[in-house]
Amino acid sequence: MSSGNDCRPQTFTKPALSEKEAAELVDRVFGLKVSWLRPLPSYDDQNFHVRVSGSSKGAECADEYVLKITNSEDSREPDLIRVQTQAMMFLSAEGFPSATPYLTKDGSIMSLESGDTGNKKHMVRLLTYLPGTPVAKIATNAQILYEIGKLAASLDKVLAEKFHHPSVKSLHRGQFIWNLANVPLLEQYIDALGQNKYRAVVEQVIEQFKGKVIPKLSSFRACINHGDLNDHNILVDSSSASLENPQYRVSGILDFSDMSYGYYVFEVAIAIMYMMIESSDPLGVGGHVLAGFESVVPLTAEERGALFLLVSGRFAQSLVIAAHTALLYPENKEYLMITAKSGWKHLMTMFEMGQEAVEKKWFETAQAYTHRAPA
């Protein structure tokens, strides 16, 4: 349910390069000598944290990178990977803490390379390494939740207003399972839940989503979504020495592989859901994230009215797809289901409280910010 556990219900070949092969790849494709590397967690791609020693391209070389080797299925969509990478470069130029690619020896932002198995091909990129601590590893407070909401809105707004690229149409991913508009597609994977109270709630989410959200999509304001601002994809560092009340700033935005055309309200719903996962006060999270988001992009009444079901829909997506993929790959079940326990608890609590009570809590918290600065 976070980046380490979300996975696409598709047939793919995950790359399986050894550390030696990865180091040779960095040398051959990018012309950099590796001093050390270590694997980074990823489900369907293969990532390495790489430190290099000097560069044939001169002094502009950074010390540390992430070598990203994309799975064979996604590597068949070069336009999509290209536009995601260009978006990262654009955001970095706009002042967002986003990684940028180190160019290959022939000046490209990525390279299609032969894989380690059969005739599989994998897209390879070398991205700048971003320092910081994942939000999942800190005790979140109102201040950082507000900043994350503000970040989500600012990112979508600048992409919608200023990002142009010849391949941007590839972000219209009609059947992409992680686009929030596609919650009804979960019906084809729901058998993975068996017959229990959890399945009943997910079926309720899907039916309400079809009846109350889908008909209103045309009234929502469209934009490009990052689509996965979860607690592992946002890095922070502390901007204060106070241990009792630390002040955080976002130091990195990771993983643009779920980018797609969507709506502003999708991004804030996704951020709320993921910030709830490890929180000691999960139902209190939404108001702070919403306040930060609305400081940049205020939601319309119709968008606000869909927020409860959109957050619930993202919970359903993560829980159903994790269960489905655990059946396909039982050896990874423990890894896939690591956050499912808290996820189910939060979703069940939301439905037990009901939409009106949950929204009241969120909206009252957000309203309080109009009378004061964020904590």
- Average confidence (pLDDT) over 319-333: 84
Rounded mean pLDDT of the chain?
A: 90
Is 117 a residue whose pLDDT tops 70?
A: no
Amino acid 42: pLDDT: 76
Global confidence as pTM:
0.91
Phi first, then psi, for residue 263 (nearest 5°) are: -140, 155
Is 96 a residue whose pLDDT tops 90?
A: yes
Is 335 a residue whose pLDDT tops 80?
A: no
Question: Which domains does the chain possess?
Answer: 19-128 (3.30.200.20), 133-371 (3.90.1200.10)
- Average confidence (pLDDT) over 332-354: 84
Amino acid 94: pLDDT: 98
Amino acid 288: pLDDT: 98
In tens, the pLDDT along 195-215 reads 989 999 999 999 999 999 999
In tens, the pLDDT along 68-77 reads 999 988 899 9
CA distance linking residue 227 with residue 232, whole number of Å: 13
Q: For residue 53, which amino acid is it?
A: S
Is 320 a residue whose pLDDT tops 90?
A: yes
CA distance linking residue 336 with residue 70, whole number of Å: 19
In tens, the pLDDT along 233-266 reads 999 998 765 667 789 999 999 999 999 999 999 9
- Average confidence (pLDDT) over 16-32: 94
Please confirm, yes or no, whether 44 is among the known catalytic residues: no
Tokens 């106070």: give the residue.
Answer: 242
Is 169 a residue whose pLDDT tops 50?
A: yes
User: Which of 45, 74, 228, 258 does the annotation list as catalytic?
Assistant: 228
- Average confidence (pLDDT) over 8-28: 81
In sequence order, the 6+-apart residues with CB closer than 8 A to the CB of 320 are 186, 189, 190, 192, 193, 202
HSE value, Cβ hemisphere, 13 Å, CA-based, for 101: 28
